[in-house]
């Protein structure tokens, strides 16, 4: 199996965008949890499903974006 240089560059860009998206989503979930705790709650759904939410927040952007980036770049170049 041969790898295209454009695909590898697209995957690298996808990894960077996925990392940024992961940081943003992680911060949003933490902010929602803190807001709920300050309002007197138990942390809400973010705490109840923390393992699943963390896996989805990490998996989709950090693993999915490089795959899409590789595929898109290799299709654009030909």
The mean pLDDT of 10-32, rounded to a whole number, is 92
**Selection from 61, 60, 13 nearest residue 5 by Cα:** 13
Residue 9: which pLDDT band, with cuts at 50, 70 and 90?
very high
Lowest mean pLDDT segment, chosen from 33-37, 39-43, 50-54, 69-73: 39-43
Cβ within 8 Å of residue 8, ≥6 positions away: 70
| pLDDT tens, position by position, 36-47 | 888 887 767 767
Report pLDDT for 14: 95
What pLDDT is recorded for position 23?
94
d(CA 4, CA 46): 40
How confident is the model over 18-39, as a mean pLDDT? 88
Contact criterion met (CB below 8 Å) for 68 and 2: no
């Amino acid at each position: 199996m041969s790898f295209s240089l454009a695909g590898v560059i697209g995957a690298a860009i996808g990894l960077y965008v996925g990392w940024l998206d992961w940081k943003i989503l992680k911060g949003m979930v933490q902010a929602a949890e803190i807001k709920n705790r300050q309002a007197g709650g138990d942390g809400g759904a973010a705490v109840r499903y923390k393992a699943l939410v963390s896996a989805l927040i990490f998996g989709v952007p950090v693993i999915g974006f490089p795959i899409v980036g590789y595929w898109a770049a290799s299709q654009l170049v030909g």
